[in-house]
Amino acid sequence: MFNSIRTSKENKERITDLTNKLHLGAENVIARIALGYSLSRDSNLELTDIKDSKGKEYSKRVLFGEYGSIYIAMICQKYRLHNINKEIPRYLKLHIDDGIEKIDSELRDNPNIQGIDLLLNFIESGIK
């Protein structure tokens, strides 16, 4: 279906900064968190809003590890798509970019927050 996904050019620098600030693991870990955070939001994103693909490139294996089918299933569930829909990679990219931007905004609003506290806030808000 796809071999890799690229962030937007502006998010290439953001993801490096987030990785360094949050200390939660490698850049692909931050990208996974961004994807999950974006998917957890109530609104659906529009493919017409997709950004450029001139940023950080992740192979499917590096980005998702052994859980690729789970991330694809989350996209399929949210958008009611079949798991072979050709738009799935675009939705994944859209949500990764969206999540990176949202996390970056959270850190601008709370510059002293630690990575684990940010994650716990995300979890707590998802439970409510």
Any idea which of 31-35, 76-80, 106-110 has the lowest mean pLDDT?
106-110
pLDDT score for 6: 95
Nearest by Cα to 6 from 46, 57, 64, 81: 57
pLDDT tens digit string along 39-79?
Answer: 998 889 999 999 999 999 999 999 999 999 999 999 999 99
User: For the chain, which residues make up each domain, given as ranges?
Assistant: 4-127
Q: Distance of CA 64 to CAs 92, 98, 116, Å?
A: 11, 17, 20
Architecture of domain 4-127: Orthogonal Bundle (1.10)
